[in-house]
């Protein structure tokens, strides 16, 4: 087992993002010193982790030296942005050789919202091709590896972000989620990963063009308070319309919640033993805290699996055939990876089903949200089984085999994307070999406060494992 981390005695120490921001604000150290320390940490672990898609240290150091940051709660904190998000000066490569490395000349709307928190973007993190799979692996370059054990996947699609934050190279990093892409790598790498409600945070450029926008922007972090500060900053910059106001959530509420426990994957079968043990152990903690727990099945029909995978395939088909219009004029479909091509071909075999797929996904939204007429929170594992080794979900492998493995692995998270509901993965357990296991909590649209309050309560009761221990 090879564990990789960058925690040292430099100025960043073991501080989370809020701790770093506080130290900068009080003059304990400067934003420039924080950036230099983070870059030294990145340089120390990047050869093993392969988590950086684009190094923009020159601009990051210049900003830090000038103190050129908005006055958000994370002012001066070193960070990176996922490389499917448009940032002035950084090529938006989407994890694919099909996209030319042309630097962007502007920011997308969400980028400005992220920057309003005060973070210092030092570069861009890796994702698999177009974020279409659950492991950050490639056919043309080394995979992004899990710092808890480099033989294992870091998850996806925000795998690079999760690897760097878990390893201590960065205190916080941008992530986004169209089927689990914040929560999956958070679970794999032992982090907090909140997918906000649809439209809680400004939409990504990718998501705005979709018939059903699955994508939510967020962060991965090592503490609940870091995520809470990020989401509060987004609301100060651009308050969400049509849902409850969300300020800074600073701790648990003491509310006794009605919690629905879902232990059976919608794809059928059973959880692996270690995930099942973790689920039950945390259920006992929740009950001891006074929460009321009832076991329920996932309230969507089994046909949801086919509908979601058909929609997933539609996204790949759109890239395959309209990449020049959707992504970049220089898009070269001959350089698409085999998994993306396989998904595109799968759509062609079932294109006739598309109208029914869209209707079915909208129906499943009503079914899933109906749970919140009776419950405050839905509790499940984040993933169908523990984190796989590198190669298990190889994008260059047999398509049908890899696709079926993905469907079994990513069984709990997509319902929150199609329904637009918020959900959070918390690192509340580990395997016998020391790999993180994420547990998953969802609430109704606009109820991020409930999730953050519960997350604080669980973080206090079961402190998250630290990679440096």
Active-site residues, by number, are: 82, 157, 181
Phi and psi at 190, nearest 5°, equal 75, 45
Contact between 297 and 264 (Cβ < 8 Å): yes
Q: Which of 80, 192, 190, 79 is nearest to 424 (CA)?
A: 192
Phi and psi at 381, nearest 5°, equal -65, 160
Three-class SS of residue 299? coil
Angle of helix 17-26 relative to helix 224-237, nearest 10 degrees, comes to: 70
Helix (H) and strand (E) counts for the chain? 14, 11
Partners of 87 in beta bridges: 90
Q: How many residues does the chain have?
A: 469
Cα dihedral 35, 110, 442, 453 sign: positive
Contact between 113 and 201 (Cβ < 8 Å): yes
DSSP state, residue 309? H
Q: Is 7 exposed, middle or buried (0-12, 13-18, 19+ CB in 10 A)?
A: middle
């Amino acid at each position: 087992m090879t564990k990789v981390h960058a925690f040292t005695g430099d100025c960043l120490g073991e501080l989370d993002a809020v701790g770093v921001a506080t130290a900068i604000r009080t003059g304990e150290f400067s934003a420039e010193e924080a950036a230099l320390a983070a870059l030294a940490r990145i340089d120390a672990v990047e050869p093993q982790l392969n988590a950086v898609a684009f190094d923009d240290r020159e601009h990051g150091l210049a900003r830090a030296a000038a103190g050129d940051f908005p006055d958000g709660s994370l002012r001066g904190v070193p960070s990176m942005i996922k490389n499917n998000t448009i940032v002035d000066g950084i090529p938006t490569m989407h994890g694919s050789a099909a996209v030319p490395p042309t630097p962007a000349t502007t920011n997308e709307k969400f980028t400005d919202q992220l920057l309003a928190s005060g973070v210092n973007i030092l570069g861009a993190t890796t994702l698999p091709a177009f974020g279409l799979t659950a492991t950050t692996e490639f056919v043309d370059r080394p995979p992004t590896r899990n710092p808890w054990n480099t033989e294992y996947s870091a998850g996806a699609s925000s795998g690079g972000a999760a690897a760097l934050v878990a390893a201590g190279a960065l205190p916080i990093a941008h992530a986004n989620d169209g089927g689990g892409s914040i929560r999956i790598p958070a679970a794999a790498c032992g982090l907090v990963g909140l997918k906000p409600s649809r439209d809680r945070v400004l939409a990504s450029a990718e998501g705005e063009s979709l018939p059903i926008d699955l994508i939510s922007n967020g962060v991965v972090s090592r503490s609940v308070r870091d995520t809470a500060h990020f989401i509060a900053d987004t609301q100060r910059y651009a308050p969400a319309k049509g849902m409850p106001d969300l300020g800074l959530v600073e701790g648990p509420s003491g509310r006794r919640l009605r919690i629905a426990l879902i232990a059976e994957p919608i794809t059928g079968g059973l959880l692996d033993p270690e995930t099942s043990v973790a689920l039950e152990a945390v259920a006992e903690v929740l009950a001891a805290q006074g929460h009321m727990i009832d076991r329920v099945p996932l309230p969507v029909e089994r046909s949801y699996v086919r509908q979601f995978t058909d929609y997933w395939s539609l996204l790949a088909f759109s890239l395959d055939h309209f990449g020049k219009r959707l992504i970049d004029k220089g898009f070269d479909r001959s350089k698409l990876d085999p998994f993306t091509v396989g998904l595109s071909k799968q759509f062609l075999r079932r294109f006739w089903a598309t109208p029914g797929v869209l209707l079915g996904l909208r129906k499943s939204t009503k079914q899933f949200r109906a749970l919140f007429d009776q419950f405050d929170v839905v509790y499940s594992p984040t993933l169908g089984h523990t984190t796989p080794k590198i190669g298990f979900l190889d994008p260059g492998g047999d398509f049908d085999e890899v696709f079926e493995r993905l469907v079994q692995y990513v069984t709990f998270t997509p319902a929150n994307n199609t329904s637009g509901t918020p959900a959070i993965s918390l690192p509340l357990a580990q395997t016998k070999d020391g790999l993180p296991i994420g547990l998953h909590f969802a609430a109704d649209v606009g109820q991020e406060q409930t999730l953050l309050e519960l997350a604080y309560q669980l973080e206090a009761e079961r402190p998250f494992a630290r990679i440096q221990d």
